[in-house]
Amino acid sequence: MRLSSDELRFFKENGYLIKRDVLDSTLMERARQRLWDYAPPGRTPDAPSTWHGPFREDEEDLGKPNHRRGFRWQYREPGGEEWMVRLLAKNEAIWSMAQQMLGEGQLVEPPRIRGIYCTLPYGEHPIPALTCHCDGHPFHLGVVGYIDFVPPGGGSFTVWPGSHKKFYHAYTSQYRNEPTPEYHIIREYYNGQQPVDCHGDAGDIVFWHHRLAHMASPNTSWQIRQAVLYDYVKRDLEKTQEEPPQKDMWRDWSAELRQA
């Protein structure tokens, strides 16, 4: 699977790109089942009435690596299992497209993915405002994969198109979490803009630029939002993360993407 010139141009302009029906169905089913190894007693896959949030205080897990609190359910522990890496980061199609964007032979081999990240349905609870952020850890290209259907309003990976072009220059370095005062001004601006709800079916993925404003939106659907995440890193990140933002923000990306 390769990206067209139009898709590369869309990614550069908007900072994200959705690809449909990419993940392996057998591995997605395995991940959906694996999630329930970390479920609190009484919350079960065959009882949708137990899926609504928030987690009660006695169900919370604030330790590492896993996290359960409020409406967030982040099961990081299985992210290092070989089949989980194969589900997302080393999926042949995704790996090929990531290399197309960042350069053949330039990617660090993935030791793990982030894990299975979920958002519980809000049910009758008040829906909070949509507020964006940029991730703080150094990386180049993020990918989110849906392992189950995510309907509109179902807690999707939500993005503010074009925001990467502003936020890239609102840091003192290319990849580190070193925001300038301008970051807060830009964030306030985008919080007043309408984002894009990247809903989709099981197997769909979303590529996104590391400085793109985004959030896991509130889940107003009837089911748990289930996704797997990974962050692609180039081999030269240790050097380039120290450098200031470049005049050409695509300098570290592939020649094919820069020319698109």
Which H/E stretch holds residue 17? Answer: strand 16-19
Q: Which token pair is 128?
A: 């909070």
State mean pLDDT over 218-226.
Answer: 97
pLDDT score recorded for residue 196: 98
d(CA 116, CA 120): 13
Integer Cα distance of 175 and 243 in angstroms:
8
Q: Percent of the chain at pLDDT above 70?
A: 100
Average pLDDT of the residues in 233-248: 96
- Is pLDDT at 244 greater than 90 in this prediction? yes
Under the banding of pLDDT at 50, 70 and 90, the label for residue 1 is confident
pLDDT averaged over every residue in the chain: 97
Please give the Cα distance from 230 to 89 (Å, whole number): 6
Residue 250 has pLDDT above 90, yes or no: yes
In the numeric block, the tokens 């990140």 are attached to: 237
pLDDT in tens, 126-182: 999 999 999 999 999 999 999 999 999 999 999 999 999 999 999 999 999 999 999
pLDDT digits (tens, 9 = 90+) for 227-238: 999 999 999 999
Question: Rounded mean pLDDT of 9-18?
Answer: 98
Domain 5-259 coded CATH 3.40.50.300: no
**Are 119 and 216 spatial neighbours (Cβ–Cβ below 8 Å)?**
yes
What are the two backbone dihedrals, phi and then psi, of residue 62, each rounded to the nearest 5 degrees? Answer: -105, 10
